Copies of this chain bind each other. A is one copy, B any other.
């Protein structure tokens, strides 16, 4: 449903969203909300690069509704301080794609990581905002909500994931923005401290994001090659720093017995089968069961560090590198809207395959 172009220090980010059905009300306002959530500079927990991230819709919308033809979105880069990066031209940063890009392309755009930069995700978050709106308006109020489940060793206590709303993720008890995006506010407070400590010591933290989508329609996904869990995993592993994905009870299931792991099936209110527990995470045989979709994504700690790290340069000589650019001490807060976007795009694609709706509304 989406393709993109753009790198950290080029002129801008572009997304082309193809296949959105005609008749979805859409304006640039609809994209702003998630772009602001993804934007740098929101708190001291994230990079201080300044980007307005204003998205312009160039095509595919007429008189306030989608037309069914491709929607092009343009986000211009603004604060591209290339000089910050000139010292990185000939050196390989630990944890980064510097050498792998060179091995593939015989070169790399060393300014801010080029296309390997998380800046590239701005266009995907904008595209995902369209998918989220489509799912919410056309697929029975389906919501995709992500949150920070874990930062370093701190694990949040999330009761029923199906009950977490975006406002529980975004807001603290006093109504102020929640910089960690962890809805367990006690854990959130400790996470905040841990990230800030890491930042001050020139270090970084990883963590785990959790994503839930509900109410899910049953029957999305293909039986072998485009299993819903496979396409979601592919989409999430396309985001920077992702090192693991698991569904439902995930790796825990590998330690259970079948008699413990299987979710017992009962008749739901609508007469359709549902499971009492949701250890399976909403997908069986690659196809959604109608139970909430539940998955978790592990992120490594930010690779860019302001402290010296041992490495080599292009000539093979030993050297040190420290990243002077502006970076996030923990990726989780800004990762949340990225994860929601990718999950929403995949769900929208699979819903479009399976749906009988071709036109959403009349002009």
Partner-B contacts on A (CB < 8 A): 3-7, 10-14, 16, 18, 22-23, 56-62, 65, 67-72, 74, 92, 94-97, 99-101, 103-109, 111, 113-116, 120, 150, 152-153, 198, 203-208, 217-221, 223-225, 227, 229-231, 233-235, 237-238, 240, 242-251, 253-267, 271-273, 275, 280-281, 283-290, 298-305, 307, 309-312, 316-318, 354, 356-359, 362-363
CB distance from A16 to the nearest CB of B (A): 5
For residue A226, give the distance in angstroms from its CB to the closest CB of chain B: 8
Known: A59-B12, A287-B101, A289-B100. A312 touches B251 (CB 8 A): no
Copies in the complex: 4
Are A250 and B244 also in contact (CB < 8 A) when A95-B284, A227-B237 are?
A: yes
Q: Is the CB of A6 within 8 A of B58?
A: yes
**Beta-carbon contact of A206 and B261 below 8 Å:** yes
Contacts of A233 in B (CB 8 A): 230, 233-234, 237, 245
Chain B residues whose C-beta falls within 8 Å of the C-beta of A259 in the assembled complex: 203-204, 305, 307, 309
* Residue from B69, B114, B152, B227 within 8 A of A69 (CB atoms): B114
How many angstroms from the CA of A140 to the CA of B61 in the assembled complex? 32
Residue of B nearest to A247 (CB): B243
Complex: chain B residue closest to A223, CB-CB: B115
Compute how far the CA of A285 lies from the CA of B300 in the bound complex, rounded to whole angstroms: 12
Closest to A285 in B: B97
Q: Are A108 and B67 in contact (CB under 8 A)?
A: yes
Cα–Cα, bound, A3→B104 (Å): 23
Question: Are B261 and A72 in contact, with the CB atoms below 8 A?
Answer: no
A282 nearest CB neighbor, chain B only: B100
> B258 contacts A303, CB within 8 Å?
yes
Query: 8 tightest A-B contacts by CB?
Result: A97-B285, A244-B246, A204-B258, A103-B218, A103-B219, A100-B287, A5-B72, A5-B70
| Cβ distance A230 to chain B, nearest Cβ, rounded Å | 4
Contact of A254 among B198, B208, B271, B283 (CB under 8 A): B208
Which residues of B lie under 8 Å from residue A68 when comparing CB positions? 104-105, 107
A261 vs B204: C-alpha distance in the bound complex, in angstroms? 10
A225 to B237, CA, bound (A): 9
A261 touches B300 (CB 8 A): yes
The CB with the most chain B CB atoms within 10 A, among A70, A229, A247, is that of A70
Q: Judging by beta carbons under 8 Å apart, are B238 and A243 in contact?
A: no
Which of B58, B231, B287, B305 contacts A11, CB < 8 Å?
A: B58
CA distance A109 to B22 in the complex (A): 11
A254 touches B265 (CB 8 A): no
Q: Which chain B positions have C-beta within 8 A of A105?
A: 22, 67-69, 219, 359
Return the chain B residue nearest A76 by Cβ. B58
Q: Which residues of B contact A96 (CB under 8 A)?
A: 284-285
Q: List 7 A-B contacts (CB under 8 A).
A: A92-B265, A94-B275, A150-B254, A227-B237, A240-B285, A244-B251, A251-B298
Question: Once bound together, how far apart are the Cα atoms of A221 and B59, in whole Å?
Answer: 20
Shortest C-beta distance, A2 to chain B (Å), equals 9
A3 to B59, CA, bound (A): 14
